[in-house]
Structure 1
Amino acid sequence: MALILARLYAVAALNTLFTSLNSPGQLKGWQANGGDPCGESWQGITCSGAGVTAIKLSNLGLSGNLAYNMNNLGSLVELDMSQNSLGGGNQIEYNLPTIKLERLNLAGNQFGGNIPYSIFSMSNLKYLNLNHNQLQGNMTDVFSNLYSLSTLDLSFNSLTGDLPQSFTGLSSLKQLYLQNNQFTGYINVLANLPLNDLNVANNRFTGWIPSQLKKINSLQTDGNSWSTGPAPPPPPYTAPPPPNRGPDQNGSSNSGGKSGISGGAIAGIIISLLVVGAVVAFFMIKRRKRKSARAAHFEQHQPFTSFASNEVKDVPYMKPIEEPTTIDIESLASPASVSLKPPSKIASHKSFDDDDFLNKPVAKKSNTIPIKATVYSVADLQMATDSFNFDNLVGEGTFGRVYRAQFNDGKVLAIKKLDSTVMPFQSSDDFAELISNISKLHHPNLNELVGYCMEHGQHLLVYDFHRNGSLHDLLHLSDEYSKPLSWNSRVKIALGSARALEYLHEICSPSIVHKNFKSSNILLDSEFNPHLSDAGLASFIPDAEFQAAEQSAGYTAPEVDMTGQYTLKSDVYSFGVVMLELLTGRRPFDSSRPRSEQSLVRWATPQLHDIDALDRMVDPALKGLYPAKSLSRFADVLALCVQPEPEFRPPMSEVVQALVRLVQRANMTKRMLDGDTSRRADDQDQDFI
């Protein structure tokens, strides 16, 4: 049965590939539906038994793209689509076959973007050729698992940045071609590789060419900015190499006459240094213990510094879309990045002399933090919420309660009253730093900060109010009179939410881990555009404390439960869980269901690649009004996101691109993307077919 399913999946992948290549007539035997690629001898296909082991379609004038389900070709050993016109500037399909692939050749095409992350999983890969494409950007660290790779050719692209550290693990690499890119930095990571051929010409490398590489027979390094002076000296306290002068007439090594130092003298110097060092270390340790005790007392009386320093750079303000009527599937560009800095050290971490510590006053932080948000008084917010009346309570989450606020000018906003037990601010400066940072986050799919209040010890945040509430409520708490979300709206919500995470992960600098991505934090406006809430708040709280405070059963990645550490990849996992909610209509964890179905991820993931089972998993509220192909592609994306191993989950930029391609392939019209809920669901889904 397994062999039959594998064969069906392989045929489906080749059918999709034929369509993605614009159904070229020059591919003899190929079909858009069904067929037998092995028994009917499709052009360029090699089989072993019932498995497709090679696809060789080089130099045939092909256009279009690779198939989205190439990973279904589980027996594929070689894929050669070189010297065509594939890609059209789009990124290489991330869902490449990984299990047995040994040779991947996509050279001489028009692929853009970066190197696909799925290459990380190709542990059997021996040959990778992506030359003469339009690849760009810094290389992601995808090479650490490619121990069998012997040839790597990335030449004639527009790749930038330093060479990734994972290059040092390419223990079988013999040929490396990086010429005609825009790489920068040093090439020291290549020093100990077993290279026979190396070409790094016409880049922007600097520094010195390691001496090990100069021994390579075929070495090309022209067109870089190499340092011409002597190589840097060895690190301090490292003895220089002995002079190579050969033995003297007595058979002993010549030390250079009177200027030399005997071995006994060197030993004496070393012993003396060790003794002096030990004495100095003893007194330093004693002194540090005294200062630590004082510093601990001092720290208890100083304010806690939040997740960003005072010197936060201003960024251009990007006005939120007031009437977001369409999703721009053509543009993947994100707004200007926000510059956040790591935690600044509080005063007690600084080293003081004892006299300085005892006699000099400690300067307090000056509150010069730039904040671009409206300041509200407690009285204003009390009046707008009827003294935070229970009737105006619209939600309660990890960080506190949220109230609906109606102001005199008719404006309706949402007030988040922060829970002091979760976010304990030691001073107004701490809260001001937090406000400064989250006020700089601007993206159409973020719930942006409007204002704040910090009077009388209160810490309140003011956000836009979205009338359709949260995705969680719409999926799980709607009554029988509520109209369910159409399939189009679900795809739209997934794509917008993915773009919000992509902004936090890959546009903000440094990256922001949301830590609390879940359907209750995805707010929907009147046109069902998603707005991710709580961005930047969890960064203020250490991982261990946040894990103890949050209650997101079913959303947390396995590694967070094991290590307590949140990462970009744990956010990707949580995003996959939300996609599962959109697909099935089920809660991430539901104790009312049979034990085997309580955990949504555990129940759903084994069925995501079974077409019949997938059809049974779909939210009954859709009443069958969804396109099978779109559903399958949606399931493929989320399956990658909820993989148990974090290194196998794609970055959010690849998730965004996959969902964009899903929308493009489904031929959604702009009318569909407007989210026009007045149309009948069955009429809407005609646009997918």
Structure 2
Amino acid sequence: MGCFPCGSNSSGNAKNKQTKKPDDEIASTSVEKLTSAPDVKKEASKDGGSDRIAAHTFTFRELAAAAKNFRADCLLGEGGFGRVYKGRLESTGQVVAIKQLDRNGLQGNREFLVEVLMLSLLHHSNLVNLIGYCADGDQRLLVYEYMPLGSLEDHLHDLPPDKRQLDWHTRMKIAAGAAKGLEYLHDKANPPVIYRDLKCSNILLGEGFHPKLSDFGLAKLGPVGDKTHVSTRVMGTYGYCAPEYAMTGQLTLKSDVYSFGVVLLEMITGRKAIDNSRAGGEQNLVAWARPLFKDRRKFAQMADPLLQGQYPIRGLYQALAVAAMCVQEQPNMRPLIADVVTALTYLATQKYEPEAQSNQGYRTSSRCSTPRR
């Protein structure tokens, strides 16, 4: 869950720049607040959840055995929370991912608690499944279903020469699935949940590139009643934070929509949200893209070169239009995530057909042009 204040000026790799351990305010979603919210339980039950904390409790000994005493050859990766290991539970034989809290790291007990509560009460096919946790003494571990294809970031950035790039159809399929996970948090959970840390590395991929949102340590319950936002210390990942949240600390559902727009732009362009290896004007993806959104003739220049032109022209225009709307500076100009799901679900059905492409050319309907303000 590597994260740091969104408003910082990062001079290194953005995903590796982190802040000190958050204070108590970060996890305003407390045990009492979450477990006493009957609507959250009700919605969790509707989607295969339970009206109680359903995650299994493991002993440290069980998880150490599953991960072969946390040997280096079982290591899957490392983030702000700690290291993640592949393991096999001796009791069931199930292959799992075990995330071990770094006691000297940046994420604390409160983020651990939020993650356990959120993923125990909220269940959806596009949210990673929490199998259980361990809280033995000062040990804090989380046990998830194992996602064999890693993260979206693994398939999008810094690919080794022998790794196959994602085709257009798969990218749109992943985008649609991630949007559905966000829609569940925003529209089905009651009170709504603001994810707050949407980025490529937090979208995990299962068989068939089925996407699931992961890492809920920064999630917060959204505004209810006549409230328009929740105020919080600014946390997240530089390059993905909505500008109004980074400036004021006022968090809304539209903050997540902005972050999703950045992720969608990464999938379309193949560029990173923040890439300090590029020229000055191209380091920030959204800043680079905004002028190009205004000129439809430049849309083709925005497509990931690794796609080698193998995408539906109209689909590219429409996907860019969705991304452009999501990263609008004014939050009230951004679409609802439900509308994003509708658009991307349609785009995920459109496959690249060279014959049709040659006939279609670069003509597009008015719906494919740059979105109107």
Same fold (TM over 0.5): yes
Gaps of 5+ in 1: 1-298, 319-334, 340-368, 669-680
- The one-letter amino acid of 1:501's match is L
- Mark the CA change 1:683 to 1:388 in structure 2 (over 3 Å): closer, same or farther: farther
Q: Is the 8 A contact 1:487 1:685 kept in 2?
A: no
Question: C-alpha displacement at 1:554, in angstroms?
Answer: 1.1
Question: C-alpha displacement at 1:395, in angstroms?
Answer: 2.5
**What's 2:309 paired with?**
624
**What's 1:650 paired with?**
335
- TM norm structure 1: 0.43
Higher relative contact order (Cα pairs below 8 Å, separated by 6+ residues): 2
- Equivalent of 1:500, from 166, 181, 205? 181
**What's 1:518 paired with?**
199
The answer to whether residue 136 in structure 2 is matched with residue 411 in structure 1 is no
- The one-letter amino acid of 1:446's match is L
- The one-letter amino acid of 1:654's match is D
The alignment of Structure 1 onto Structure 2 pairs a total of residues equal to 320
- Equivalent of 1:395, from 74, 77, 97? 77
Q: Is the 8 A contact 1:336 1:507 kept in 2?
A: no
Question: C-alpha displacement at 1:602, in angstroms?
Answer: 0.3
- TM norm structure 2: 0.76
Rg comparison, structure with higher value = 1
Question: C-alpha displacement at 1:465, in angstroms?
Answer: 1.1
Question: C-alpha displacement at 1:493, in angstroms?
Answer: 0.7
- Mark the CA change 1:434 to 1:629 in structure 2 (over 3 Å): closer, same or farther: closer
Q: Is the 8 A contact 1:308 1:434 kept in 2?
A: no
- Mark the CA change 1:624 to 1:434 in structure 2 (over 3 Å): closer, same or farther: closer
- Mark the CA change 1:536 to 1:442 in structure 2 (over 3 Å): closer, same or farther: farther
- Mark the CA change 1:649 to 1:443 in structure 2 (over 3 Å): closer, same or farther: same
**What's 1:32 paired with?**
none
Gaps of 5+ in 2: 1-23, 222-229, 361-373
- Equivalent of 1:311, from 33, 36, 44? 36
| In structure 1, C-alpha distance between the alignment counterparts of 2:164 and 2:44, rounded to whole Å | 36
Q: CA RMSD in A?
A: 3.1
Question: C-alpha displacement at 1:393, in angstroms?
Answer: 2.5
| In structure 2, C-alpha distance between the alignment counterparts of 1:631 and 1:557, rounded to whole Å | 24
Q: Is the 8 A contact 1:401 1:416 kept in 2?
A: yes
Q: Is the 8 A contact 1:453 1:461 kept in 2?
A: yes
SS of residue in 2 equivalent to 1:445: coil
SS of residue in 2 equivalent to 1:527: helix
| In structure 2, C-alpha distance between the alignment counterparts of 1:417 and 1:584, rounded to whole Å | 34
Instruction: Tell me which protein shows more helix as a share of its residues.
Output: 2
- Equivalent of 1:425, from 95, 102, 109? 109
| In structure 1, C-alpha distance between the alignment counterparts of 2:49 and 2:231, rounded to whole Å | 22
Question: C-alpha displacement at 1:392, in angstroms?
Answer: 2.5
Q: Is the 8 A contact 1:374 1:452 kept in 2?
A: yes
| In structure 2, C-alpha distance between the alignment counterparts of 1:397 and 1:685, rounded to whole Å | 44
Q: Is the 8 A contact 2:115 2:216 kept in 1?
A: no
| In structure 2, C-alpha distance between the alignment counterparts of 1:400 and 1:637, rounded to whole Å | 35
| In structure 1, C-alpha distance between the alignment counterparts of 2:106 and 2:219, rounded to whole Å | 10
Q: Deviations over 1:546-597 (max 9, x none)?
A: 62xx4x2211111122112332111100000000000010110111100010
Q: Deviations over 1:413-440 (max 9, x none)?
A: 11122355545438xxx96676344212
- Equivalent of 1:636, from 291, 316, 321? 321
- The one-letter amino acid of 1:381's match is L
SS of residue in 2 equivalent to 1:469: coil
Matches within 5 A, 1:249-268: none
The answer to whether residue 99 in structure 2 is matched with residue 374 in structure 1 is no
| In structure 2, C-alpha distance between the alignment counterparts of 1:316 and 1:566, rounded to whole Å | 23
- Mark the CA change 1:543 to 1:413 in structure 2 (over 3 Å): closer, same or farther: farther
| In structure 1, C-alpha distance between the alignment counterparts of 2:264 and 2:356, rounded to whole Å | 19
- Mark the CA change 1:422 to 1:511 in structure 2 (over 3 Å): closer, same or farther: farther
Question: C-alpha displacement at 1:496, in angstroms?
Answer: 0.5
- Mark the CA change 1:431 to 1:621 in structure 2 (over 3 Å): closer, same or farther: closer
